[in-house]
Amino acid sequence: MEKFATLRVREGPNDVLLATLDRPEVANAFDTRTALGLSELFERFRAEERYRCVVITGAGDKAFCAGADLKERNSFSDEQWRSQHETFERMFCAVRDCPIPVVAAVNGAAYAGGLELVLHCDFAYASVTAKFALTEVSLGIMPGGGGTQTLPRVVGERRAKELILAARPFSAEEALAWGLVNRLCEPGKVVQEALRVAERVASLAPLAVRQAKHAIRQGLHRDLASAMQLEIEAYNRLVGTEDRREGMRAFNEKRTPKFKGR
């Protein structure tokens, strides 16, 4: 795996990839280089089928990601601001549209675009010390990485309005209670726990995992009848696969299946 300037990428067992935002001196805030690196990495998964799960985290133990680097933006003209934001939009879309599961390991503060990045992942584990907020309205802007759309879908409209319109920070315990994160971990353990579940996901039939993710994500935007039809279409794509046959053979032979993604 090639190197990125502000992003560390490490291959783990079972075709799992760990991507670490590596700007701890600025709370892992993303600049243009980071956004381009994440875009390039995640867009690659649309064409490649080598990897089976991705974990995103931040360097250090203080911050997952503080959002956009406001010091870098301080001297921007309006045109430069909009141009950079288009790069950020590409990054968020690349994570959102990734065909393989994406797990956030929230090791510290996830503010503004950092929280939006978490919301675009499929699910998240967080340190008990993590903190969350969409603070944009306190800066004269508003969430622009999907926060006004993704947060209400997770925590409900009225709670999301309070959090966004009052720029109210909230705790890891609240994030867990509201369904924004799936599990809380002891400090220093969140990446380990996220990698453990990622390796479990990666050990399963990759085509089936991709189709299940597709059905969940796309079905949520449809009425129930058409969403169920979408599920059947995804299901039928798996019937003729080698992995489906291997799964049935392994079950009946009482052994662990060897899935090949075919």
- Look at residue 1 in the predicted model and tell me its pLDDT: 54
Q: Residue 35 belongs to a domain with what CATH number?
A: 3.90.226.10
* Domain shared by 229 and 160, yes or no: no
Output the CA–CA distances (angstroms, integers) from residue 175 to 65, 95, 106, 128, in the order listed. 16, 21, 11, 10
Same domain for 121 and 70: yes
Q: In terms of domains, do 217 and 100 share one?
A: no
Q: Is 260 a domain residue?
A: no
262 within a domain of the structure (yes/no):
no
Neighbour tally for 241: CB within 10 Å? 18
- Of 202, 218, 236, the last residue of a domain is 202
258 in a domain, yes or no? no
pLDDT at 257: 87
Residue type, 139: L
DSSP strands (E only) in 22-169: 53-58, 63-65, 102-106, 109-111, 123-127, 131-133
Q: For the domain that residue 235 is a member of, what is the CATH number?
A: 1.10.12.10
**Contact predicate 21/37, CB 8 Å:** no
Per-run averaged pLDDT (10 residues), the chain, 262 residues: 80 90 94 93 85 95 91 84 91 95 97 97 97 96 95 96 97 97 95 96 93 93 94 93 88 87 82
pTM: 0.92
Q: Are residues 193 and 220 in the same domain?
A: no
Burial class (CB in 10 A: 0-12, 13-18, 19+), 26: middle
Among candidate residues 162, 183, 202, the one where a domain is terminated: 202
Separation CA 171–CA 169 (nearest Å): 7
Cα-Cα-Cα-Cα dihedral sign, residues 213, 151, 183, 98: positive
Residue for token pair 């019937």: 239
- The total number of structural domains in the chain stands at 2
125 in the same domain as 30: yes
Phi, psi of 183 (to 5 degrees): -155, 145
Residue 193, phi then psi, degrees to nearest 5: -70, -40
Helix (H, G, I), strand (E, B) or coil at 38: helix
Residue-number span of the structural domain to which 221 is assigned: 206-252
So what's the pLDDT on residue 253?
A: 86
Residues 189, 243 within the same domain? no
The answer to whether residue 257 is domain-embedded is no
* 112 closest CA partner among 181, 63, 77, 173: 63
Q: Assess whether 76 and 137 both reside in one domain.
A: yes
Q: Are strands 53-58 and 7-11 parallel, antiparallel or unpaired?
A: unpaired
Q: Quick one: tokens of 67? A: 């959002």
Same domain flag for 110 and 216: no
- State the pLDDT at residue 260: 87
The long-range contacts involving 82-86, CB below 8 angstroms and separated by at least 24 positions, are 84/32, 84/35, 85/144
Catalytic residues: 68, 113, 116, 136
Q: What is d(CA 9, CA 11) in angstroms, rounded to the nearest whole number?
A: 7
